[in-house]
Amino acid sequence: MATGTETTTRARVRWGLLDLLVVVFALVPVLWIASLSFKTPGTLTDGNFIPREWTLDNYRTIFDTDQFVRALINSIGIALIATLVAVVLGAMAAYAISRLDFPGKGLLVGVSLLIAMFPQVSLVSPLFEIERQLGLFDTWPGLILPYITFALPLAIYTLSAFFKQIPWDLEKAAKMDGATQGQAFRRVIAPLAAPGLFTTAILVFIFCWNDFLFAITLTSTERARTVPVALSFFTGESQFEDPTGAICAAAVVITVPIILFVLFFQRRIVSGLTSGAVKG
Amino acid sequence: MADIVLDKVSKKFPDGTVAVQDVDLEIADGEFVILVGPSGCGKSTTLNMIAGLEDISSGELRIGGQRVNDKAPRDRDIAMVFQSYALYPNMTVRENMAFPLRLAKLDKETINQKVDEAAKVLELTSLLDRRPANLSGGQRQRVAMGRAIVRQPKAFLMDEPLSNLDAKLRVQMRTVVSRLQKQLGTTTVYVTHDQTEAMTLGDRVVIMRGGAVQQVGPPQELYDHPRNLFVAGFIGSPSMNFLHAAVQDGGLRTGLGDVPLGDRVRRELEAADAPRELILGIRPEHFEDAELVDDDTRRRGLEFEAPVEIVESMGSDKYVYFTVEGERASAAELEELAADAGASDFSGAGSNLVTRLSAESPVAEGQSRRVWFNLEKIHLFDPTNGRNLTLHEGRAAGALAD
Put simply, whether B353 touches A (Cβ < 8 Å) is no
Residue B209 has pLDDT above 90, yes or no: yes
* A20 and A46 together in one domain: yes
Residue at A70 is within a domain: yes
Put simply, whether B80 touches A (Cβ < 8 Å) is yes
Q: A238 pLDDT band (50/70/90 cuts)? A: low
Residue at A213 is within a domain: yes
How much of chain B, in percent, has pLDDT values that exceed 70?
98
Alpha carbons A146 and A144: distance in angstroms, whole number = 6
Q: What's the gap in Å between the CA of A154 and the closest CA on chain B?
A: 26
Residue at A61 is within a domain: no
Q: Pick from B77, B85, B163 the residue to mutate for testing the A interface (most A CBs within 10 Å).
A: B85
* A10 and A105 together in one domain: no
Residue B208 has pLDDT above 90, yes or no: yes
Q: What's the gap in Å between the CA of B259 and the closest CA on chain A?
A: 51
* A47 and A175 together in one domain: no
Q: A280 pLDDT band (50/70/90 cuts)? A: very low
Alpha carbons A204 and B144: distance in angstroms, whole number = 38
* A235 and A172 together in one domain: yes
Q: Pick from B55, B75, B83, B88 the residue to mutate for testing the A interface (most A CBs within 10 Å).
A: B88
Residue B44 has pLDDT above 90, yes or no: yes
User: Model-level pTM?
Assistant: 0.79
Residue A154 has pLDDT above 80, yes or no: yes
Cis amide linkage into residue B226, ω under 30° from 0: no
Residue at A105 is within a domain: yes
Q: Alpha-carbon Rg of chain B, whole angstroms? A: 25
Residue A134 has pLDDT above 60, yes or no: yes
Taking an 8 Å cut-off on Cβ atoms, the answer to whether A169 and B82 are in contact is yes
Instruction: Look at chain A and report how many structural domains it folds into.
Output: 2
Put simply, whether A190 touches B (Cβ < 8 Å) is no
The residue of chain B nearest to residue A279, with distances taken between CA atoms, is B84
* A7 and A103 together in one domain: no
Taking an 8 Å cut-off on Cβ atoms, the answer to whether A172 and B85 are in contact is no
Taking an 8 Å cut-off on Cβ atoms, the answer to whether A176 and B73 are in contact is yes
Chain A residues whose beta carbon lies within 8 Å of the beta carbon of residue B140: 276, 280
Residue at A60 is within a domain: no
Range of the domain at A162: 66-244+253-277
Give the mean model confidence (pLDDT) for residues A209-238: 85
Give the mean model confidence (pLDDT) for residues B259-273: 83
Taking an 8 Å cut-off on Cβ atoms, the answer to whether B89 and A179 are in contact is no
Put simply, whether B53 touches A (Cβ < 8 Å) is yes
Residue at A84 is within a domain: yes
Alpha carbons B334 and B73: distance in angstroms, whole number = 38
* A14 and A71 together in one domain: no
Put simply, whether B184 touches A (Cβ < 8 Å) is no
Alpha carbons B323 and B353: distance in angstroms, whole number = 6
* A150 and A39 together in one domain: no
* A189 and A76 together in one domain: yes
How much of chain B, in percent, has pLDDT values that exceed 90?
64
H or E segment and range at residue B187: strand B187-192
Taking an 8 Å cut-off on Cβ atoms, the answer to whether B74 and A178 are in contact is yes
* A81 and A44 together in one domain: no
Give the mean model confidence (pLDDT) for residues B383-398: 85
Q: Which of B73, B84, B133 has the CB atom closest to A169's CB atom?
A: B84
Chain B residues whose beta carbon lies within 8 Å of the beta carbon of residue A191: 90
Give the mean model confidence (pLDDT) for residues B16-41: 93
How much of chain A, in percent, has pLDDT values that exceed 70?
90
H or E segment and range at residue B320: strand B317-324
Residue A276 has pLDDT above 60, yes or no: no
Q: Which of B78, B86, B90 has the CB atom closest to A169's CB atom?
A: B86
What's the confidence (pLDDT) of residue A279?
A: 46
Q: Which of B80, B89, B147 has the CB atom closest to A276's CB atom?
A: B89
Q: A278 pLDDT band (50/70/90 cuts)? A: low
- Edge to edge, the sheet with strand B78-81 lists B78-81, B155-159, B187-192, B32-36, B204-209, B212-217
Alpha carbons B352 and B320: distance in angstroms, whole number = 10
CATH number at residue A105: 1.10.3720.10
* A99 and A213 together in one domain: yes
Q: A118 pLDDT band (50/70/90 cuts)? A: confident
Put simply, whether A99 touches B (Cβ < 8 Å) is no
Residue B346 has pLDDT above 50, yes or no: no
Residue B313 has pLDDT above 60, yes or no: yes
* A159 and A264 together in one domain: yes
Chain A residues whose beta carbon lies within 8 Å of the beta carbon of residue B157: 176
Residue B344 has pLDDT above 70, yes or no: no
Residue at A127 is within a domain: yes
* A143 and A6 together in one domain: no
